[in-house]
Amino acid sequence: MKPKKKDIRALTKDQLRDFFVENGDKAFRGNQVYEWLWHKAVHSFDDMTSLSKATREMLDEHFVINHIEVDAMQRSNDGTIKNAIKLHDGLIVESVLIPTPTRTTACVSSQVGCSLDCKFCATARLKRMRNLNPDEIYDQVVAIDQQSRLYHNHKLSNIVFMGMGEPLMNYNNVIKAIDKITSEEGLGMSPKRITVSTSGVPKIIKKMADDEVKFNLAVSLHSAIDEVRTSIMPFNATFPLDDLREALEYWYAKTKRKITYEYIVWGGINDRKEDIKALVDFCKYVPCKVNLIEYNPIDDGEFQQASSLAINNYISNLEMHDITVNVRRSRGKDIDAACGQLANKS
Protein backbone atom coordinates (compact mmCIF):
# COMPACT_ATOMS: atom_id res chain seq x y z
CA MET A 1 0.00 0.00 0.00
CA LYS A 2 1.21 3.48 -0.84
CA PRO A 3 2.08 5.60 2.21
CA LYS A 4 -0.49 8.26 3.01
CA LYS A 5 0.42 11.62 1.53
CA LYS A 6 1.36 14.32 4.02
CA ASP A 7 -0.48 17.62 4.35
CA ILE A 8 2.03 20.05 2.89
CA ARG A 9 0.85 22.93 5.06
CA ALA A 10 2.01 21.10 8.17
CA LEU A 11 5.58 21.83 6.98
CA THR A 12 7.54 24.90 8.01
CA LYS A 13 9.29 26.96 5.38
CA ASP A 14 12.63 25.40 6.33
CA GLN A 15 11.20 21.91 6.00
CA LEU A 16 9.91 22.78 2.54
CA ARG A 17 13.31 24.14 1.54
CA ASP A 18 14.95 20.92 2.82
CA PHE A 19 12.47 18.85 0.88
CA PHE A 20 13.53 20.45 -2.40
CA VAL A 21 17.22 20.09 -1.63
CA GLU A 22 16.73 16.40 -0.78
CA ASN A 23 14.95 15.99 -4.10
CA GLY A 24 17.74 17.55 -6.13
CA ASP A 25 16.25 21.02 -6.55
CA LYS A 26 17.12 24.43 -5.13
CA ALA A 27 16.11 25.41 -1.59
CA PHE A 28 14.64 28.58 -3.06
CA ARG A 29 11.89 26.48 -4.65
CA GLY A 30 10.62 25.94 -1.10
CA ASN A 31 10.12 29.68 -0.67
CA GLN A 32 8.12 29.83 -3.88
CA VAL A 33 5.85 27.01 -2.81
CA TYR A 34 5.46 28.53 0.64
CA GLU A 35 4.27 31.75 -0.94
CA TRP A 36 1.71 29.90 -3.06
CA LEU A 37 0.46 27.99 -0.02
CA TRP A 38 0.04 30.91 2.35
CA HIS A 39 0.20 34.36 0.78
CA LYS A 40 -1.64 33.30 -2.37
CA ALA A 41 -3.56 30.59 -0.50
CA VAL A 42 -4.12 28.28 -3.49
CA HIS A 43 -5.69 24.90 -2.88
CA SER A 44 -4.16 22.93 -5.72
CA PHE A 45 -0.62 22.32 -6.99
CA ASP A 46 -1.90 22.97 -10.51
CA ASP A 47 -2.58 26.57 -9.55
CA MET A 48 1.11 27.13 -8.71
CA THR A 49 1.72 28.46 -12.19
CA SER A 50 5.27 29.69 -11.64
CA LEU A 51 6.44 26.09 -11.09
CA SER A 52 7.27 23.68 -13.88
CA LYS A 53 4.84 20.88 -14.60
CA ALA A 54 7.42 18.34 -13.37
CA THR A 55 7.73 20.14 -10.01
CA ARG A 56 3.96 20.31 -9.60
CA GLU A 57 3.69 16.60 -10.34
CA MET A 58 6.45 15.81 -7.89
CA LEU A 59 4.63 17.75 -5.16
CA ASP A 60 1.42 15.98 -6.02
CA GLU A 61 3.13 12.61 -5.56
CA HIS A 62 4.28 13.44 -2.04
CA PHE A 63 1.69 15.78 -0.60
CA VAL A 64 -1.90 16.87 -0.39
CA ILE A 65 -3.18 20.35 0.39
CA ASN A 66 -5.89 19.79 2.98
CA HIS A 67 -8.26 22.69 2.71
CA ILE A 68 -11.64 23.90 3.78
CA GLU A 69 -14.68 24.30 1.56
CA VAL A 70 -17.50 26.78 2.07
CA ASP A 71 -20.27 24.21 2.17
CA ALA A 72 -23.18 26.60 2.62
CA MET A 73 -23.48 30.34 2.91
CA GLN A 74 -26.38 32.24 4.41
CA ARG A 75 -26.88 36.02 4.17
CA SER A 76 -28.74 37.92 6.84
CA ASN A 77 -30.84 40.95 5.99
CA ASP A 78 -28.33 43.04 7.99
CA GLY A 79 -25.50 41.94 5.65
CA THR A 80 -23.99 39.38 8.01
CA ILE A 81 -22.84 36.21 6.25
CA LYS A 82 -22.64 32.84 7.97
CA ASN A 83 -20.58 30.06 6.44
CA ALA A 84 -20.78 26.37 7.14
CA ILE A 85 -17.20 25.33 6.57
CA LYS A 86 -16.45 21.76 5.62
CA LEU A 87 -13.08 20.48 6.82
CA HIS A 88 -11.01 17.90 4.95
CA ASP A 89 -12.37 15.11 7.14
CA GLY A 90 -15.98 16.13 6.58
CA LEU A 91 -16.57 17.84 9.93
CA ILE A 92 -18.26 21.23 9.89
CA VAL A 93 -17.52 24.48 11.70
CA GLU A 94 -19.10 27.87 11.24
CA SER A 95 -17.59 31.29 10.65
CA VAL A 96 -19.22 34.64 10.21
CA LEU A 97 -18.56 37.90 8.36
CA ILE A 98 -19.94 40.94 10.16
CA PRO A 99 -19.98 44.16 8.13
CA THR A 100 -20.42 47.67 9.55
CA PRO A 101 -20.04 50.93 7.63
CA THR A 102 -16.46 51.30 8.85
CA ARG A 103 -15.10 47.75 9.10
CA THR A 104 -15.70 44.11 8.32
CA THR A 105 -15.00 41.57 10.99
CA ALA A 106 -14.44 37.85 10.64
CA CYS A 107 -15.65 35.74 13.53
CA VAL A 108 -13.74 32.46 13.32
CA SER A 109 -13.86 29.09 15.04
CA SER A 110 -10.94 27.47 16.82
CA GLN A 111 -12.38 24.01 17.58
CA VAL A 112 -15.01 21.67 16.20
CA GLY A 113 -17.59 21.93 18.98
CA CYS A 114 -16.46 22.99 22.44
CA SER A 115 -15.47 21.24 25.65
CA LEU A 116 -16.74 24.01 27.94
CA ASP A 117 -20.30 23.58 28.97
CA CYS A 118 -21.61 27.16 29.12
CA LYS A 119 -25.32 26.79 29.76
CA PHE A 120 -26.34 29.69 27.52
CA CYS A 121 -24.31 28.77 24.43
CA ALA A 122 -25.55 26.62 21.55
CA THR A 123 -22.05 25.43 20.62
CA ALA A 124 -21.76 23.72 24.03
CA ARG A 125 -24.40 21.22 22.91
CA LEU A 126 -22.04 19.89 20.24
CA LYS A 127 -19.25 18.79 22.61
CA ARG A 128 -15.68 19.04 21.43
CA MET A 129 -14.73 16.81 18.52
CA ARG A 130 -11.28 18.10 17.69
CA ASN A 131 -9.02 21.11 17.52
CA LEU A 132 -8.69 23.02 14.28
CA ASN A 133 -5.29 23.00 12.61
CA PRO A 134 -3.54 26.32 11.95
CA ASP A 135 -4.34 26.14 8.24
CA GLU A 136 -8.03 25.52 8.97
CA ILE A 137 -8.16 28.70 11.04
CA TYR A 138 -6.18 30.59 8.41
CA ASP A 139 -8.45 29.38 5.60
CA GLN A 140 -11.55 30.69 7.37
CA VAL A 141 -9.97 34.15 7.39
CA VAL A 142 -9.00 33.89 3.71
CA ALA A 143 -12.54 32.81 2.75
CA ILE A 144 -14.12 35.67 4.68
CA ASP A 145 -11.65 38.19 3.27
CA GLN A 146 -12.70 37.07 -0.23
CA GLN A 147 -16.38 37.46 0.69
CA SER A 148 -15.71 40.88 2.16
CA ARG A 149 -14.09 42.04 -1.09
CA LEU A 150 -16.85 40.49 -3.18
CA TYR A 151 -19.90 41.67 -1.24
CA HIS A 152 -18.65 44.77 0.55
CA ASN A 153 -15.93 46.06 -1.77
CA HIS A 154 -13.23 46.20 0.84
CA LYS A 155 -10.84 43.84 2.48
CA LEU A 156 -11.34 42.29 5.86
CA SER A 157 -10.32 44.65 8.65
CA ASN A 158 -10.74 42.75 11.94
CA ILE A 159 -10.79 39.22 13.31
CA VAL A 160 -12.40 37.93 16.48
CA PHE A 161 -11.92 34.41 17.82
CA MET A 162 -15.52 34.21 18.98
CA GLY A 163 -16.82 31.39 16.82
CA MET A 164 -16.99 27.80 17.94
CA GLY A 165 -14.59 26.53 20.56
CA GLU A 166 -12.31 27.84 23.28
CA PRO A 167 -9.21 29.30 21.59
CA LEU A 168 -7.01 28.94 24.68
CA MET A 169 -7.70 25.21 24.73
CA ASN A 170 -6.14 25.07 21.26
CA TYR A 171 -3.50 27.66 22.00
CA ASN A 172 -0.59 26.36 19.92
CA ASN A 173 -2.59 26.13 16.72
CA VAL A 174 -4.30 29.48 17.30
CA ILE A 175 -0.90 31.12 17.74
CA LYS A 176 0.48 29.47 14.61
CA ALA A 177 -2.54 30.67 12.64
CA ILE A 178 -2.24 34.22 13.98
CA ASP A 179 1.47 34.22 13.12
CA LYS A 180 0.57 33.41 9.53
CA ILE A 181 -2.32 35.90 9.44
CA THR A 182 -0.10 38.72 10.67
CA SER A 183 3.09 37.88 8.80
CA GLU A 184 3.87 39.55 5.48
CA GLU A 185 4.27 36.07 4.05
CA GLY A 186 0.65 35.43 4.97
CA LEU A 187 -2.08 38.07 5.07
CA GLY A 188 -0.08 40.88 6.65
CA MET A 189 -2.86 41.93 9.02
CA SER A 190 -2.08 43.92 12.15
CA PRO A 191 -2.36 41.96 15.42
CA LYS A 192 -4.02 45.06 16.88
CA ARG A 193 -7.04 44.16 14.77
CA ILE A 194 -7.28 40.66 16.19
CA THR A 195 -9.11 39.77 19.40
CA VAL A 196 -8.96 36.40 21.08
CA SER A 197 -11.95 35.76 23.31
CA THR A 198 -11.72 33.27 26.15
CA SER A 199 -13.75 31.99 29.04
CA GLY A 200 -10.46 32.39 30.91
CA VAL A 201 -7.80 29.71 31.26
CA PRO A 202 -5.45 31.31 33.81
CA LYS A 203 -2.33 29.33 32.93
CA ILE A 204 -2.63 30.11 29.23
CA ILE A 205 -3.38 33.80 29.83
CA LYS A 206 -0.07 33.96 31.67
CA LYS A 207 1.67 32.08 28.89
CA MET A 208 0.29 34.56 26.35
CA ALA A 209 1.74 37.39 28.41
CA ASP A 210 5.12 35.59 28.54
CA ASP A 211 4.94 34.98 24.79
CA GLU A 212 4.41 38.75 24.34
CA VAL A 213 1.51 38.29 21.98
CA LYS A 214 0.39 41.51 20.30
CA PHE A 215 -3.31 40.82 19.80
CA ASN A 216 -6.16 41.85 22.11
CA LEU A 217 -7.64 39.79 24.87
CA ALA A 218 -11.35 39.56 25.68
CA VAL A 219 -12.71 37.55 28.59
CA SER A 220 -16.27 36.23 28.70
CA LEU A 221 -17.01 37.12 32.28
CA HIS A 222 -20.82 37.17 32.63
CA SER A 223 -20.57 37.21 36.41
CA ALA A 224 -17.99 38.34 38.96
CA ILE A 225 -19.48 36.13 41.68
CA ASP A 226 -18.07 32.60 41.75
CA GLU A 227 -21.31 30.90 42.68
CA VAL A 228 -23.27 32.55 39.88
CA ARG A 229 -20.50 32.12 37.32
CA THR A 230 -20.09 28.44 38.11
CA SER A 231 -23.82 27.86 37.70
CA ILE A 232 -23.77 29.22 34.13
CA MET A 233 -20.15 28.39 33.21
CA PRO A 234 -19.30 25.15 35.08
CA PHE A 235 -15.70 25.53 33.99
CA ASN A 236 -15.42 28.28 36.64
CA ALA A 237 -15.37 25.57 39.33
CA THR A 238 -11.94 24.52 38.04
CA PHE A 239 -10.68 28.05 37.33
CA PRO A 240 -12.37 30.33 39.88
CA LEU A 241 -12.38 34.12 39.65
CA ASP A 242 -9.41 34.58 42.00
CA ASP A 243 -7.19 32.57 39.64
CA LEU A 244 -8.58 34.44 36.65
CA ARG A 245 -7.96 37.78 38.34
CA GLU A 246 -4.39 36.84 39.17
CA ALA A 247 -3.72 35.81 35.57
CA LEU A 248 -5.24 39.04 34.25
CA GLU A 249 -3.08 41.10 36.60
CA TYR A 250 -0.07 39.23 35.28
CA TRP A 251 -1.21 39.89 31.70
CA TYR A 252 -1.57 43.61 32.33
CA ALA A 253 1.73 43.93 34.18
CA LYS A 254 3.53 42.38 31.21
CA THR A 255 1.60 43.75 28.23
CA LYS A 256 0.12 47.02 29.50
CA ARG A 257 -2.90 46.27 27.37
CA LYS A 258 -6.48 46.73 28.54
CA ILE A 259 -8.79 43.76 28.77
CA THR A 260 -12.31 43.64 27.41
CA TYR A 261 -14.92 41.88 29.51
CA GLU A 262 -17.88 40.43 27.67
CA TYR A 263 -20.95 40.36 29.80
CA ILE A 264 -24.56 39.34 29.22
CA VAL A 265 -27.21 40.42 31.71
CA TRP A 266 -29.96 37.85 32.28
CA GLY A 267 -33.14 38.32 34.26
CA GLY A 268 -33.09 36.39 37.54
CA ILE A 269 -29.43 35.39 37.15
CA ASN A 270 -27.13 38.38 37.33
CA ASP A 271 -29.42 41.41 37.42
CA ARG A 272 -29.24 42.13 41.17
CA LYS A 273 -27.46 45.02 42.87
CA GLU A 274 -24.80 42.69 44.25
CA ASP A 275 -24.06 41.39 40.74
CA ILE A 276 -23.40 44.93 39.55
CA LYS A 277 -21.28 45.72 42.58
CA ALA A 278 -19.20 42.57 42.07
CA LEU A 279 -18.55 43.52 38.44
CA VAL A 280 -17.58 47.07 39.36
CA ASP A 281 -15.16 45.69 41.97
CA PHE A 282 -13.71 43.15 39.53
CA CYS A 283 -13.13 45.92 36.99
CA LYS A 284 -10.88 47.73 39.45
CA TYR A 285 -8.19 45.04 39.37
CA VAL A 286 -6.96 45.65 35.84
CA PRO A 287 -7.60 48.46 33.31
CA CYS A 288 -10.49 47.25 31.22
CA LYS A 289 -13.68 48.01 29.39
CA VAL A 290 -16.98 46.18 29.45
CA ASN A 291 -19.00 45.10 26.44
CA LEU A 292 -22.57 44.36 27.42
CA ILE A 293 -23.71 41.79 24.85
CA GLU A 294 -27.28 41.26 23.88
CA TYR A 295 -28.39 37.71 24.71
CA ASN A 296 -29.28 35.56 21.72
CA PRO A 297 -31.86 33.02 22.81
CA ILE A 298 -30.85 29.50 21.89
CA ASP A 299 -33.72 27.33 23.05
CA ASP A 300 -36.44 26.77 25.57
CA GLY A 301 -36.14 30.10 27.34
CA GLU A 302 -34.21 29.03 30.43
CA PHE A 303 -32.22 32.23 29.94
CA GLN A 304 -33.91 35.58 29.33
CA GLN A 305 -32.31 38.87 28.48
CA ALA A 306 -32.67 41.18 31.50
CA SER A 307 -34.97 44.21 31.47
CA SER A 308 -33.70 47.51 30.06
CA LEU A 309 -33.90 48.85 33.58
CA ALA A 310 -31.39 46.24 34.82
CA ILE A 311 -29.10 46.89 31.87
CA ASN A 312 -29.29 50.64 32.43
CA ASN A 313 -28.38 50.08 36.08
CA TYR A 314 -25.26 48.26 34.97
CA ILE A 315 -24.37 51.07 32.58
CA SER A 316 -24.86 53.88 35.08
CA ASN A 317 -22.95 52.10 37.85
CA LEU A 318 -20.02 51.28 35.61
CA GLU A 319 -19.91 54.82 34.24
CA MET A 320 -20.13 56.26 37.73
CA HIS A 321 -16.89 54.40 38.44
CA ASP A 322 -15.27 55.61 35.21
CA ILE A 323 -15.38 52.18 33.61
CA THR A 324 -15.94 52.30 29.84
CA VAL A 325 -19.01 50.36 28.83
CA ASN A 326 -20.40 49.63 25.34
CA VAL A 327 -23.65 47.96 24.49
CA ARG A 328 -23.22 45.49 21.66
CA ARG A 329 -26.20 44.79 19.49
CA SER A 330 -26.42 41.34 17.92
CA ARG A 331 -25.90 40.84 14.24
CA GLY A 332 -27.18 38.09 11.98
CA LYS A 333 -29.76 36.76 14.44
CA ASP A 334 -32.22 35.82 11.68
CA ILE A 335 -29.75 33.24 10.35
CA ASP A 336 -28.48 32.00 13.74
CA ALA A 337 -25.14 33.67 13.13
CA ALA A 338 -25.01 35.72 16.32
CA CYS A 339 -22.75 35.01 19.33
CA GLY A 340 -23.54 31.71 20.95
CA GLN A 341 -25.84 30.57 18.15
CA LEU A 342 -23.30 28.61 16.11
CA ALA A 343 -24.46 25.03 16.25
CA ASN A 344 -24.39 23.64 12.70
CA LYS A 345 -28.17 23.65 12.62
CA SER A 346 -28.42 23.44 8.87
List, as residue ranges, the binding site for S-adenosyl-L-methionine: 165-166, 197, 220-222, 296
Q: How far apart are the first and last CA of the chain?
A: 38
Provide the H-helix boundaries in 185-325. 202-210, 226-232, 241-255, 273-283, 308-320
Q: What does the DSSP 8-state code read for residue 266?
A: B
DSSP label at residue 295: P
Find the binding residues for ligand SAH in span 223-262 (CB under 6 A): 262
Positive or negative CA dihedral for 291, 294, 296, 297?
positive
Is 339 a residue of the active site?
yes
Q: Does 266 bind ligand SAH (CB under 6 A)?
A: no
Q: Which of residues 105, 131, 220, 236 is near ligand SAH by CB under 6 A?
A: 220
**Of 193 and 333, which CB lies nearer to ligand SAH in the complex structure?**
333
| 194 is an interface residue for ligand SAH by CB under 6 A | no
Range 124-133 contact pairs with CB under 8 angstroms and sequence separation of 24 or more: 125/343, 126/164, 126/343, 126/344, 128/165, 128/169, 129/91, 130/91, 131/165, 131/169, 131/170, 131/173, 132/87, 132/93, 132/165, 132/170, 132/173, 133/7, 133/9, 133/10, 133/66, 133/173
Please name which of 55, 2, 46, 68 lies closest in space to residue 26, comparing C-alpha atoms: 55
Contacts with ligand SAH by CB under 6 A: the residue count is 16
Q: Can you tell me which of 174, 228, 339, 343 binds ligand SAH, judged by CB under 6 A?
A: 339
CB of 91 to ligand SAH, least distance (A): 18
Identify the residue among 66, 76, 236, 296 touching ligand SAH (CB under 6 A).
Answer: 296
Question: Which region, judged by CB under 6 A, interacts with ligand SAH, from 39-47, 86-94, 173-181, 291-299?
Answer: 291-299
Residues 144 to 183 in contact with ligand SAH, rule: CB under 6 A: 162, 166
State yes or no: residue 105 binds ligand SAH (CB under 6 A). no
Does 137 contact ligand SAH by CB under 6 A? Answer: no
The strand pairing partners of 149, in sequence order, are none
Task: Choose, by CB under 6 A, the member of 33, 121, 143, 187 that binds ligand SAH.
Answer: 121
Question: Residue 221 — φ and ψ, nearest 5°?
Answer: -90, -60
What count of residues does the chain have?
346
Question: Is 340 a binder of ligand SAH (CB under 6 A)?
Answer: yes
Which chain residues interact with ligand SAH by CB under 6 A? 120-121, 162, 166, 197-199, 220, 262, 264, 293, 295-296, 298, 339-340
Q: Which residues are catalytic?
A: 94, 339
